[in-house]
Amino acid sequence: MIFDKDGTLVDQQTWDRVTGSLLDHLFPDVETREAASRAIEYDLDSRSISPGAAILAESNDQWIDRLAPFDPDGDKPAFGERVESTIAELIRTNVCALDGADELLGHLASTDVLIALATNDSEASARNQVALLGWQQHFDAIVGYDSGHGAKPAPGMLLALLEHFHVRPADALMVGDTWADQHAAEAAGIPFALVQHGNLSEIQEDVVG
Ligand SMILES: [Mg+2]
């Protein structure tokens, strides 16, 4: 069973808080912060990522690309490293699990089902969050956008996991909350289960309707 992370096991409120603090840190100038917020569809008033925002499904490097033009230093590699290190610091005090995720992972760990995480976050960040949540014993594999298999919606991560575990697509299940998860699963030939939060009503209609 392959899980997406954010919005599937990790509460999206984690990223509402981390993204807000990240923007405060990166862009102390108010006008620049407001412009950067619009570029990633983050609402500074409600301190939350807007429903349906592209960054909910994008890999870290994609939304770093959206923020980089607002960096006054103009050094994109250095900016990207600063973003990742700031997130790693902010995550320590903000990461929280979705209701029921602890129980579900604990239950699955008592079975012989193989459990993997496939996220568009970086692998290091994902491993950090899994450790903070006490889930490291539950996962047989963790891959991120930078693990060498590409990012969702391309199927590379999922195909690499199937190969690693010697599992056929039809015998696996992908669980996620965005169109990127759904498309990656379909491209890999893996059945897909949608976690519904109202983030992406269009795929809910596709899947449920
Ligand atoms: Mg997600």
- Digit-by-digit pLDDT tens for the chain (209 residues) are 999 999 999 999 999 999 999 999 999 999 999 999 999 999 999 999 999 899 988 999 999 999 999 999 999 999 999 999 999 999 999 999 999 999 999 999 999 999 999 999 999 999 999 999 999 999 999 999 999 999 999 999 999 999 999 999 999 999 999 999 999 999 999 999 999 864 544 444 444 33
- Domain encompassing residue 77: 13-94
Which tokens hold the place of 169?
A: 């697509």
Q: Please check whether residues 133 and 147 belong to one and the same domain.
A: yes
Q: Please check whether residues 129 and 151 belong to one and the same domain.
A: yes
Q: How far is the CA of 6 from the centre of ligand 1 (A)?
A: 4
Q: How far is the CA of 30 from the centre of ligand 1 (A)?
A: 29
DSSP E strands: which ranges in the chain?
A: 2-3, 42-43, 48-49, 116-118, 141-143, 174-176, 192-194
Q: Please check whether residues 55 and 153 belong to one and the same domain.
A: no
The CATH number covering residue 204 comes to: 3.40.50.1000
Q: How far is the CA of 120 from the centre of ligand 1 (A)?
A: 8
Q: Which of these three, 94, 111, 133, is where a domain ends?
A: 94
Number of domains present in the structure of the chain: 2
Q: Please check whether residues 128 and 71 belong to one and the same domain.
A: no
Q: Which of these three, 50, 75, 94, is where a domain ends?
A: 94
Q: How far is the CA of 72 from the centre of ligand 1 (A)?
A: 30
What SS3 class is residue 178? coil
Q: How far is the CA of 180 from the centre of ligand 1 (A)?
A: 8
What pTM, to 2 d.p., does this model score? 0.87
Q: Please check whether residues 121 and 184 belong to one and the same domain.
A: yes
Q: How far is the CA of 62 from the centre of ligand 1 (A)?
A: 15
DSSP E strands: which ranges in 62-204?
A: 116-118, 141-143, 174-176, 192-194
Q: Which of these three, 44, 75, 94, is where a domain ends?
A: 94
Q: How far is the CA of 176 from the centre of ligand 1 (A)?
A: 6
